[in-house]
Structure formats: structure tokens, C-alpha cells
Amino acid sequence: MQKETLLKLIAETAYNAGYGAKKHFATYDIIEKLPGWVALFSAAAAISALFIPVFEAKWVSATFIIISIGAGNILLYDRDKTKYAEVGTALTERFHELRVLYHEVKTQPDSTDLPDHAKRHVAIQAALLKTNVAKQIFLSDWYAHYKFFWQQQTGWIDEQLKFTLFRDMLPLSFTAAVILAFLGTIGWLVSGRATSLLC
């Protein structure tokens, strides 16, 4: 396999490994941390309702009840949370192997055929395909995008894949949700309901 083709394949596989690792870690983090944060904010809102009139509104209470029910749903994932961390760690190890392989291939002369490096790539890819947990938690995609694109060094992958903000770095569902929330807020403000609710 030619150097240029192999570099692109390694970058694509590394993206899948790195993003997969971050998705598993995102699910683990949500399972581990979100119920505590929901309890804290619910208690803070309940205490604030004693002296801040806007928190007395029924919609605030209803919102926190809905969020609490959703957080309770997270308990369904709790028994498998260590598996998410283990798989995330295994995928991260493959990601680092691919980074080393990428830089080894990159140092080779242009248009060189690299059968040994190609075999290593195939072996790593085969190991990746056997390493995952299919069931992931709601919003883990959003958190995984943040963890992969904004916390991890991905410049070497970007050399080949040329990531863009709206196509790659932000999930489509997040972009759609922001646009819908913005349009909904504008519609709500225009309708005059905002002033009657807040007063």
C-alpha cells in the first residue's frame, strides 16, 4: 500500500478509535457525575424558591421533576459503568498505537509501498472492531465531540481529514437544537408571553 493512501486510512481509523474512546468515556462520565449534579441543582432551586419569586413558578418545579426522572433513568446504565471505562481505555491504547504508526509511515519516502505498516494497521483495525459497548447513553455524542475535538490533540488526524466546525466538530443534532432553541426563544419573546410570565 502506498504511503499517501495508508496515511489517510490510519487517520480515518484513528478518528474512529479516538471518537469511540471518548464516547465510552462520555457515557461513563454522565453515569458517574450527572445524578449528583441534578440533585445539587434541584436542591439549590428548591432553596432559592424560598426567597426568589421566579423560582416559585410551577414551570421551574416541573422542569426539575422532569430532569430528575431523566437522571433516574441513568441508573439503568450504572451496573455496566466500569465496562465503559475499560473499553474507553482499550480504544485509547489503540488510538496511541495508530498515532505512532502514522508518524512512522509519515517519515518514509513519498510513493513508497509499505506492506508491513499496512499489516499493522489491519491488525489494529481488527482489534478495534471487537472493542465496544453498543448501548450508549443519551447525549454522549455531544459530550464525546467536546472531549475529542476540544480536549484531545487531533492535529495529526486533521492533516489528512481536514475537520470543519459544522461538519465534524459540532454534532448535527446539537446544531439543530441550538437553531431550534434560538428560533423558539425569538418566537416566545415576540409573542409577548415572556414579559407576562416574568412579571
Closest CA to 103 of 115, 117, 123, 113: 117
| pLDDT tens track for 127-165 | 999 999 999 998 999 999 999 999 999 999 999 999 999
Which H, E and C letters describe 12-66, residue by residue? HHHHHHHHHHHHHHHHHHHHHHHHHHHHHHHHHHHHHCCCCHHHHCHHHHHHHHH
Can you tell me the mean pLDDT for 101-119?
A: 93
Which H, E and C letters describe 114-155, residue by residue? CHHHHHHHHHHHHHHHCCCCCCCCCCHHHHHHHHHHHHCCCH
Residue that the C-alpha cell 459540532 belongs to: 170
pLDDT of residue 57: 83
| pLDDT tens track for 18-50 | 999 999 999 999 999 988 888 888 888 888 888
Does 59 or 133 have the greater pLDDT score?
133
Q: How far apart are CA 93 and CA 17, in angstroms?
A: 9
Supply the pTM of this predicted model: 0.84
pLDDT of residue 194: 58
| pLDDT tens track for 162-196 | 999 999 999 999 999 999 999 998 888 887 765 66
Q: How confident is the model at residue 198 (pLDDT cuts 50, 70, 90)?
A: low
Going from the C-alpha of 3 to that of each of 7, 78, 161, the distances in angstroms are: 6, 44, 15
